[in-house]
Structure 1
Amino acid sequence: MWFVFMHATQRPDRPLTAVLRHRPEDFQVEEIPATLPDGEGEHVWLHVRKRGMNTDDVAVLLGRIAGVPRRAVGYAGRKDRHAVTTQWFSVHLPGREAPAWSEQLPPAVEVLDARRHRRKLQTGHLRGNRFVLVLRQCAGDRDRAQTHLALLQQRGVPNFFGAQRFGRDGSNVAKAEALFQGTLLVRDHKLRGIYLSAARAEIFNQVLAARLDNGTWDQALLGDALQLDGRGSFFINQGDDPTVPERLAAQALHVTGPLWGCGDLATTGPVAALESEIAATMPVLAQGLEAAGLTQERRVLRIRPQALSWHWEDEHTLQLDFTLPAGAFATTLVDGLADTGACG
């Protein structure tokens, strides 16, 4: 199940052991919005900083204060609970004045800005996230850690779905199986989506783990679906473009893996065979996703951290600063550098 993520990332060659999330301030996330509110419209957009609360809890709280149903509250992405995170929410308030948010919010939630906009904030409508992470009680080879970070910057990071996608104790995959087998009834549309996403993530992580093990997670094979950096489009590697290896090395191209669903795989030949073989080892998940009507999509196997920098605050405390695209997990970068005693 999801423990393939642990197996593939917790390798003995990591140069450090460390503690992550010693306190929420050690894991800071700032959302990079795709759109900013323009000051007019039926939706009030709120720029919120929260500490020790998850995104859904804050969305419910905002809806309660505004006297609107939960579906009237939008956000672009879920952010970690055990962190200090900054993100935008939207609340549908047509023809109504906004309440005095700060007077009714707990100290852990702070409204930094509030402006109106014509549209609701939709899930996925963000460019990425900026991270400031602090690793404490670091032990190991500091020189090798410096070299390792430089390599991560140069080569990229395996784009595993983090433990957050799989729920407490990784239970979301088991719940997805129960849902597909008809032994679990889920009426909540959002909760059902969470279980479907976990099933897809499990198959993807398995494929990425196999490509990591055979050394081809950043190497193009015949039949691979290659995606342009920062773009959603991809093309099939036919072996007739001599620039592909150079563009992969420069991270202008990335190999992709499957987000499982119905329809034919984009890949061909041995790559398609490998992906199909791995999905066949999880028939309940694969067939359940197909029956649910999800279609085949692709996700890059590698992420490129932007503006990656680091410095030692003291002999045992390392701060990392970097930006990742939407959908990428900061913990995958950390797990490639340090054993923090937990996955994700």
Structure 2
Amino acid sequence: MIYSHAPINFVFNKNSDNFFVEEIPLYRFEHTGNWLMLKIRKKDLTTPQMIDILSKKTGIKRNEIGYAGLKDKDGLTIQWISVPRIYRDEINSFEDKKIKILEQDLHRNKLKIGHLKGNKFFVRLKKVLPSDAKRIERVLIDIKKLGIPNFFGYQRFGKEDNIQQAKEIIEGKRFVKNRRLEKFLISAYQSKLFNEWLMERIKLSNLFELSDKELLSLGYEKELIKFIKKQKHPFKLLPGDVMSHYPMGRLFYLENFEDTERFYKKDISPTGLMPGKKAMRARDRAREIEEKYDELLPANGDRRITWIFPEIIDKKYIKDKAWYEFSFILPKGSYATVLIEILKGNINALA
């Protein structure tokens, strides 16, 4: 069963004492050019809030400031931003109690969304008993070996009624003047469908732990049972799945058993549909499940890596404080809070 362990008791407060994230740039800067690259440390601010403060105090227009990814408010975060080089004097005189400029560099291009390789996280869990520390250790070993499902975290969905608003937009019952807000709402709805599809695939993978006889009685063909049961990874691939080189790369269809071995070795990963126009669709048995979540949406679609392989860098239990601390790296677009929920034993709460 995929991460179906009994709940592990610990307390996680997502704040600047217990949660730290540092962006990993996609490329090295060239040390020359018209764009000033700034390594920013911010505390208890969202990325847009940080940009607003920087803009007001320096006179740099918001649309002149580039960034690779949005970082949460809760926690201590480090990320790179870009501003035109002509503002170097204003940057050098900038001061704020929640924002600190750690480094400066130069580059030929402005930073854009997606221009990051991934994120490095530090997490501190509290009120961890020695018995629970051992269980955390065992689950982290599994996570390092097998990876985790790439669910969207709660941050993706915003306010509670956003999904309902998105549904009304899609059905033509609601008109939103703000195009950026409309795009965000529809994106949240796409993410919801992805999460629901991924949960069904996990349940299907767990189902195939039944005996051949039980699976045959449920209507599964002998050939499919054999194909799935031979796979080493607990997340089972289906004929017609759309695969991707990991962590990013070209898309292609799963067509042979050798590709399941490549998935187990972390060379490739399956992808899930973000419904919409122009997106590649699965085939065969994989499509039979996917099409249930493939709604007609007024937006372009995409595919998202379904399964990620976190790199666990460091971990330790501090017994006298009842703390468990660990550091790890996730690819861009993946959520540390999802890993923490899986660790806690709350995988079913993710969709």
**1:133-178 deviation per Cα after TM superposition (whole angstroms, max 9, x unaligned):** 1011225633332221111111111100001101133x33233224
* Matched length: 317
Question: Residue 52 of structure 2 aligns with which residue?
Answer: 60
Question: In the alignment, is residue 82 of structure 1 matched against residue 65 of structure 2?
Answer: no
**Which residues in structure 2 correspond to 1:1-344 (within 5 Å)?**
13-21=5-13, 23-92=15-84, 96-101=86-91, 103-139=93-129, 141-169=132-160, 171-180=161-170, 181-189=172-180, 191-215=181-205, 218-238=235-255, 241-263=256-278, 265-279=280-294, 286-287=295-296, 289=297, 291-292=298-299, 294-295=300-301, 297-314=302-319, 316-338=322-344
Q: CA deviation at 1:119?
A: 1.4
CA distance in 1 between partners of 2:43 and 2:278 (Å) = 42
- Which contiguous aligned blocks of 4+ residues in structure 1 show a shift greater than 6 angstroms? none
CA distance in 2 between partners of 1:323 and 1:24 (Å) = 18
Percent identity reads 27
> Which amino acid is the alignment partner of residue 142 of structure 2?
L
- Structure 1 unaligned spans of 5+: 1-8, 280-285
CA distance in 2 between partners of 1:14 and 1:125 (Å) = 38
1:128/1:323 contact within 8 Å kept: yes
> What secondary structure sits across from 1:160 in the alignment?
coil
Q: 1:152 to 1:307 in 2, by over 3 A?
A: closer
**1:173-232 deviation per Cα after TM superposition (whole angstroms, max 9, x unaligned):** 23322433352414253x333223212211110110101111177222111112222232
> What secondary structure sits across from 1:215 in the alignment?
helix
Q: 1:277 to 1:97 in 2, by over 3 A?
A: closer
> Which amino acid is the alignment partner of residue 65 of structure 1?
K
2:176/2:182 contact within 8 Å kept: no
Q: 1:106 to 1:66 in 2, by over 3 A?
A: closer
CA distance in 2 between partners of 1:62 and 1:15 (Å) = 43
Q: 1:17 to 1:339 in 2, by over 3 A?
A: farther
- Structure 2 unaligned spans of 5+: 207-233
CA distance in 2 between partners of 1:332 and 1:198 (Å) = 16
CA distance in 2 between partners of 1:339 and 1:151 (Å) = 13
CA distance in 1 between partners of 2:235 and 2:99 (Å) = 41
**Bigger proportion of residues as strand:** 1
- RMSD of aligned alpha carbons: 2.4
1:179/1:186 contact within 8 Å kept: no
> Which amino acid is the alignment partner of residue 313 of structure 1?
I
> Which amino acid is the alignment partner of residue 323 of structure 1?
I
Q: CA deviation at 1:272?
A: 1.0
Deviates more, 1:325-334 or 1:214-223: 214-223
The structure with the largest alpha-carbon Rg is 2
Compute the TM-score of the two structures, normalised by the length of structure 1. 0.84
2:15/2:44 contact within 8 Å kept: no
Q: CA deviation at 1:308?
A: 3.9
